[in-house]
């Protein structure tokens, strides 16, 4: 199932949160060899985890972490502007209607349906928070994953060649994309919305989303 948790609420699911940060270490440091910071607990964390982001986390049936993503509004500090702004060309992305998505992480041996479930969770955030687009930086390996999920971004810029290429993408979530992603995930729309409502109680008002 999907959980939607702000950083200050991760203590409500301590084992799931710990597994998320350890799987981030496994994916970004061990498997991909990125230059990331690993703390004394073996967690991959950065300065954006200290900004109370919203996490979408897939919990497997046995309670383990299957995958996760991190979201922050572009009205505050975000990686795409702070670190990868040179790829944008037209200046920073700053809008209450655009949030950044980062740290798309899948646990080892996670089925492809988990990636689709995470994308579906992102769609729930976009729909219920009144957000029009997500922006994010991705590497070449993700192109195939996004295509398989059924939600490929508009590419705003990039650098590098082949497997080393990184790009900035802009996502929207049309009803057609929602249907494709839900089908890939094998999750009925009603169940997806139920998980969202369980996390927030009631859908957050648009005004809250624009100031979060």
Residue 158: domain span: 2-200
The answer to whether residue 109 sits within a structural domain is yes
Asked whether the beta carbons of 131 and 209 are under 8 A apart, the reply is yes
The answer to whether residue 6 sits within a structural domain is yes
The answer to whether residue 205 sits within a structural domain is no
What is the structure's pLDDT at 203?
52
The answer to whether residue 21 sits within a structural domain is yes
The answer to whether residue 184 sits within a structural domain is yes
Contacts (Cβ under 8 Å, ≥6 apart) of 203: 128, 196, 197
What is the structure's pLDDT at 175?
84
- Please state the pTM of the whole predicted model: 0.90
CATH number of the domain where residue 33 is located = 3.40.630.30
Three state DSSP letters for the chain:
CEEEEEHHHHHHCHHHHHHHHHHHHHHHHHHCCCCCCECCCCCECCHHHHHCCEEEEEECCCCCEEEEEEEEECCCCCHHHHCCHHHCCCCCCCCCCEEEEEEEEECCCCCHHHHHHHHHHHHHHHHHHCCCEEEEEEECHHHHHHHHHCCCCEEEEEECCHHHCEEEEEECCCHHHHHHHHHHHCCCHHHHHHHHHHHHCCCCCHHHHHHC
What is the structure's pLDDT at 46?
96
Mean pLDDT by 10 residues, the chain (212 residues): 96 96 96 92 96 98 96 97 89 95 95 93 94 92 84 87 89 87 92 92 50 40
What is the structure's pLDDT at 59?
97
Number of domains in the chain: 1
What is the structure's pLDDT at 57?
98
What is the structure's pLDDT at 202?
61
């Amino acid at each position: 199932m999907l959980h939607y948790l702000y950083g200050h609420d991760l203590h409500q699911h301590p084992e799931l949160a710990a597994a998320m940060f350890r799987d981030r270490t496994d994916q970004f440091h061990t498997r991909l060899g990125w230059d990331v910071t690993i703390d004394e607990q073996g967690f991959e964390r950065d300065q954006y985890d200290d900004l109370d982001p919203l996490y979408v986390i897939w919990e497997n049936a046995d309670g383990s972490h299957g995958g996760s993503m991190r979201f922050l509004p572009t009205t505050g500090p975000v990686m795409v502007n702070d670190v990868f702004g040179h790829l944008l060309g037209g200046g920073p992305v700053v809008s209450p209607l655009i949030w950044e998505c980062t740290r798309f992480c899948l646990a080892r041996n996670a089925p492809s349906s988990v990636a689709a479930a995470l994308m579906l969770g992102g769609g729930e955030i976009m729909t219920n928070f009144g957000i029009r687009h997500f922006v994010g930086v991705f590497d070449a390996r993700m192109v195939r994953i996004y295509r398989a999920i059924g939600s490929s971004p508009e590419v705003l810029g990039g650098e590098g060649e082949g497997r080393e290429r990184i790009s900035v993408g802009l996502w929207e979530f049309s009803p057609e994309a929602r249907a494709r992603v839900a089908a890939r995930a094998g999750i009925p729309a009603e169940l997806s919305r139920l998980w969202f409502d369980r996390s927030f109680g009631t859908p957050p008002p648009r005004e809250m989303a624009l100031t979060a």
